[in-house]
């Protein structure tokens, strides 16, 4: 979702091939044998198969919304926050979403551990509109989809937490046109099904 949002914001035009994770097409695995989405194949055949790298690829080409951090220090701090989200917070999210699937992780301890990170985000948002600056930047776009997933596991519980700033930030992110556009459903692409290849961005 975050890779799609960056591609949309940057205005890059891509052919979008929606794949089913339970039925991965051979072309997809040939491009990136690790088999995780998203995967971007450039015109020259170069493959980028990490969502954050796809975001950076798109925004470095064109960044009309100024999502890329302005200075070197802010870039390092943004990437560090995103790395914590993709690492520790994602593990807690998985433990909360899929209790029992990860050894030694139950839903309630995963939720508590994840809540620590969300509290921190809420404190950041108390003093500015975005996680890194007083506007939306890369970190907001990269992290919001995971906060959304965490909130969705038990909406009543999430809504009962005293995270006013985080809740407002999340609602705003989810209402943004680029989010709605990124969430749009696309037909599943299959080998030789040229008709389901769509222009995106
Ligand atoms: N760090 C990777 C994680 C990608 C990832 O784990 N994607 C999941 C879907 S959200 C996936 O493709 N899982 C493979 C599978 O379920 O077979 C990225 O952000 O690009």
Containing structural domain, residue 167: 73-179
Q: Give percent of the chain above pLDDT 90.
A: 87
- At residue 200 the predicted structure's pLDDT band, cuts being 50, 70 and 90, is low
Is residue 201 in some structural domain?
A: no
51 vs 54: CA distance, rounded Å: 5
Same domain, 12 and 32: yes
Closest residue to atom 1 of ligand 1, CA basis: 50
Question: What is the CATH classification number for the domain harbouring 51?
Answer: 3.40.30.10
Ligand 1 centroid distance, CA of 37 (Å): 5
Query: Who has greater pLDDT, 103 or 10?
Result: 10
Same domain, 52 and 24: yes
Same domain, 49 and 117: no
What kind and span of H or E run contains 4?
helix 2-10
Same domain, 84 and 161: yes
Instruction: Give pLDDT tens digits for 4-46.
Output: 999 999 999 999 999 999 999 999 999 999 999 999 999 999 9
Same domain, 95 and 115: yes
Question: What is the CATH classification number for the domain harbouring 105?
Answer: 1.20.1050.10
Closest residue to atom 11 of ligand 1, CA basis: 36
Number of domains comprising the chain: 2
If we measure between CA atoms, which residue out of 43, 17, 44 comes closest to residue 28? 17
Instruction: Give pLDDT tens digits for 165-188.
Output: 999 999 999 999 999 999 999 999
Pocket of ligand 1 (CB under 6 A): 21, 35-37, 50-51
Instruction: Give pLDDT tens digits for 118-129.
Output: 999 999 999 999
pLDDT number for residue 175: 97
């Amino acid at each position: 979702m975050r890779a799609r949002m960056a591609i949309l914001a940057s205005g890059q035009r891509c052919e979008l091939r929606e794949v089913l994770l339970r039925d991965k097409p051979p072309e997809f695995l040939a491009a990136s044998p690790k088999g995780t989405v998203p995967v971007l194949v450039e015109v020259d055949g170069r493959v980028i198969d990490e969502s954050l790298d796809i975001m950076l690829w798109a925004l470095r080409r064109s960044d009309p919304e100024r999502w890329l951090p302005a200075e070197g220090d802010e870039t390092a701090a943004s990437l560090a926050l995103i790395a914590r989200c993709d690492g520790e917070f994602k593990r807690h999210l998985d433990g909360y979403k899929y209790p029992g699937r990860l050894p030694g992780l139950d839903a309630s301890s995963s939720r508590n551990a994840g809540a620590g990170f969300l509290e921190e985000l809420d404190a950041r948002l108390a003093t500015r509109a975005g996680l890194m600056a007083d506007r939306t930047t890369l970190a907001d776009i990269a992290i919001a989809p995971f906060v959304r997933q965490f909130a969705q596991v038990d909406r009543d519980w999430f809504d009962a937490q005293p995270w006013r700033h985080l809740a407002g930030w999340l609602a705003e992110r989810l209402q943004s046109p680029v989010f709605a556009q990124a969430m749009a459903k696309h037909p599943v692409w299959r080998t030789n099904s040229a008709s389901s290849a769509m222009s995106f961005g």
